[in-house]
Amino acid sequence: MLELTRITAGYDPRDPVVRDASLTIAPGESVGLLGPSGCGKSTLAKVAALLHRPDAGTVVLDGRPVRGWRHGAPRAQRTAVGVVFQQPRLSADPRLSLRELIAQPLRATGRRAEVTDRVAELAPAVGLTAELLNRRPHEVSDGQLQRACLARALVLRPRWLICDEMTAMLDASTTAALVAVVEAYRRESGAGLLAVGHDRVLLERWCDRTVGWQGISGRVATQESMSPTG
């Protein structure tokens, strides 16, 4: 379970962008979170990925409450959630080749022995050729870079995947290709998914259920359209 309960979060405690939002995702379930741009759904996604400390509320990940955020979260908890962001250009360290980009999480967690195998396995799955893997971000297109970012999110085999507007900058074919990669991984691993976006047609096609931003935030302890917590 990934349980977000009554989360209030933002960048200014006096004016939070997320108020009292609750959302629960069951293992293996895919949930689409639909909302207009600027509504705070990306902030909620960062809270769910343990990358942003909420001002109030609790996050329970696989039965264990989250007590720290960013570096404060235990590594095992952090790496249980894979994230893909909207803008691949900003999500990739410009100095690293795509191969290194994908391998970073393995190196950071002391599993460098697996780098060769894991990259060789993931690259064809996301549609990257060996030649593209040697290039750096400024030498590839947005779509190719986002493929590498998705591979990076999958390289540690996370139990949860958070895709924050993953396809907003991409054309229809690349969008369909990346969604197919995510779904193939979920079928094989049973991972849960939170897909955040503003494209209703896409999210409804992609996810088991879609919740609107209005449905999860603002009201106190709403549980409609959500699987029972606890």
Binding site for another protein (CB under 8 A): 36-38, 46, 49-51, 70-71, 75, 78-79, 81-83, 85, 87, 90-95, 104-105, 108-109, 127, 136, 138-139, 141-144, 149, 152-153, 155-156, 168-177, 179-180, 198-202, 204-206
- CB closer to another protein out of 70 and 188: 70
CB of 228 to another protein, least distance (A): 28
- CB closer to another protein out of 99 and 226: 99
- CB closer to another protein out of 78 and 226: 78
- CB closer to another protein out of 19 and 147: 147
Q: What is the per-residue DSSP string for the chain?
A: -EEEEEEEE-SSTTS-SEEEEEEEE-TT-EEEEE--TTSSHHHHHHHHTT-S--SEEEEEETTEE----GGGS-HHHHTTEEEE-S-HHHHS-TTS-HHHHHHHHHHHTT-GGGHHHHHHHHHHHHT--HHHHTS-GGGS-HHHHHHHHHHHHHTT--SEEEEESTTTTS-HHHHHHHHHHHHHHHHHH--EEEEEES-HHHHHHHSSEEEEHHHHSSSTT--TTSPPP-
CB of 230 to another protein, least distance (A): 26
- CB closer to another protein out of 44 and 177: 177
- CB closer to another protein out of 5 and 91: 91
CB of 169 to another protein, least distance (A): 7
Burial 35-57 (b: 16+ CB within 10 A, else e): beeebbbbbbbbbbbbbbebbeb
Closest to 205 in 3D by CA, of 184, 229, 179: 179
